[in-house]
Structure 1
Amino acid sequence: MTGRLSLDEQLAALKAALSRNDVLLEVLDRTAALGLPGWYLTAGSLFQTVWNVATGRTPSYGIKDYDVFYFDDGDLSWEAEDAAIRAGREAFAELAAEVEIRNEARVHLWYEEKFGVPCAPHTSTESAIDCFAATTCCLGVRLEPGGGWRVYAPHGLSDVFNLVVRPNPVLAPREVYEAKSARWRQVWPELTVLDWPTA
């Protein structure tokens, strides 16, 4: 769908698709007001909105939650992250959506216990986004001061627009990729899900 478009045209198509999701736009606006360092709205709510627009569905169809990542390595305490989560809960209280806020500087403290593999400390929000189980997930958007959009897409946007789910075997285990892609395929049967590499 966008494979032969210029990068500028791909970014314009992304913004046009995401702008169809009113909840997503509200999350961007309200998160910007929180002033979280290095924040991005990331993962499912972004690429799933594009999938919905591309397949003619309601823009928010199938979206479970809206993930907000930020990066603050100056205070790795749970109390500091919890303060950000509580501020977000207040900011999003009247929004009909679940918004999850997480400090990516703390991921290495709990990742192995949850997923069974160690995680080196992230050095930025971007480095955390790089580690999603599928390259399609590696996408972040935030509002810059002045209202411009900053888009982080280390693997480009072609797979997102072409409904391709591609594994990203850099951190998350194969089981995580396969569980997520199986759920996505149930909701969006048009997806092409590529196999986890065996070598």
Structure 2
Amino acid sequence: MKELSKELPEGSLDEAGPDDIYAQIRGTAKHGQAEMYGLGVRVSDVWGKVSSHDALCKENVKLNAELQQYKEHEKQKNDMTDNTVVNPHASTNNGIITNTPLQVGKEIHLKSINNPTLIVTKGRLRSLDPLTVVGEIKIGPGWGEVHVQVAIKGDETVIRPFELVITMIEATGVAIAWQTSLLSVVPLD
């Protein structure tokens, strides 16, 4: 420890942290524990967010979802160039197109625009007509009008906010516009 202390820049101190001299000598803490801070105290409790196995796993899931979405997009693009008709109202489930088409009146899940594997709310599909007006704007092609019934992730932002409807919790009981590629039919149990 004395040798490492001598290598510090002049006038600087070895502040306690996940990479301090003590941590360099003892190695990685077991199970994310912050040693010498008491039982049950974790590194993230003392020094904030520190990369962990859980964080890396979450990042991996997110990147896999993005990769799956990219592959789906490329497949659809290739299918269109092969003159194959792709159902624009096909439902998606974790980035994979299913054969359950979207139908007006059906219960559906709305997926997050940031993470298409995450269901943010449950609602009922009211319209797929591009001329339907939601929030004083026509929804347009590739969009559906959805009556939000239950906000599963209430802090998720509405794709097209209007008036006082900005988050899913505020959209509960209201019709909003949502991209059809982010809608999936609620499976029957």
TM > 0.5 fold call: no
**Scaled by the length of structure 1, what TM-score is found?**
0.24
Larger % of strand: which? 2
Which structure is higher in helix share? Answer: 1
TM-score (norm 2): 0.25
> Which has the bigger relative contact order, CA under 8 A and spacing at least 6?
1
Work out which of the two has the higher radius of gyration on C-alpha atoms and give 1 or 2.
2
